[in-house]
Amino acid sequence: MRGLAGKAILVTGSTAGIGYAIAERLGADGARVLIHGRDQGEVDAACRTLGAASAGATGDLMEPATAQALVDATVAAFGRIDGLVANAGIYPRGVLGETTAEFFDKVFAVNTRAPLLGAEAAIRAFRLQGSPGAIVVIGSINALCGQADLTVYSMSKGALTTMTRNLADALAPERIRVNCLNVGWTFTANEDATQQKEGRKPGWQHEVSPLFAPSGQIMQPAEIAAHTAFWLSEESAPVSGQIYEVEQYPLIGRNRMAES
């Protein structure tokens, strides 16, 4: 337990994958969790599995009003909000030289605008309650550069690192903490589908090169969830404004030639 008992936390994009694992972990740590997704059936199913300490809400994060609506739903369900996990995101592939304004706007609307609007809605709620709060942004190591077919995605995640530092600096006197987890390669159903679409065979996750998985496997959603619980909890206080790289190898100064 990490001192999360009774805390009310909104986790966006939490009907599957990393988001669901986060919601599951927070529930196990005693928190009350607002499950969010775009499909009512998926939200209901997640809530049934997670039990009475959860509630659900649907909403498309392409719509600017959704962020405020989800914070309002959390307060309506639990009487307050103590934390936000800005997890929801999309990662469509692109081709350099063929980026359209529509493609760019869609990725940034979900991956960058929605976390900002969600954070601002949560901040307003924290202030109304007169209480501190914690925001954890789920970023990506692609924010540091990214592969050629994820340029726009990488840019959207890079913007989240600046947002995290900016908000944390501004909000520190109010004891509202904001930290970002730049997550590495993690196995989810969506990632499995993406990799198979790109030509990998079923079970590919068990045959990943040690260059990318020194531990023998790429990361699992439950491992990301454990780090998220820590950064939401008072165990990580008063630290704020940190970009924490959730990866199993150093991202700077690594001598990959030694393993080639």
CA atoms within 13 A on the CB side of 109: 13
In angstroms, what CA-CA distances link 62 with 55, 96, 203, 208? 22, 24, 33, 34
Structure tokens at 154: 């990488």
The CA distance from 217 to 192, in Å, is: 14
- Active site residues per annotation: 153
Task: List the structure tokens of 134.
Answer: 């914690």
Instruction: For residue 217, give both structure tokens.
Output: 């496997």
Q: How many CA atoms are closer than 13 Å to the CA of 33, on its beta-carbon side?
A: 32
> Which string of DSSP letters, residue by residue, matches 148-212?
GGGHHHHHHHHHHHHHHHHHHHHHGGGTEEEEEEEE--B--HHHHHHHHHTTPPTTGGGS--TTT
CB 88 within 8 A of CB 118: no
Rounded Cα gap, residues 33 and 18, in angstroms: 14
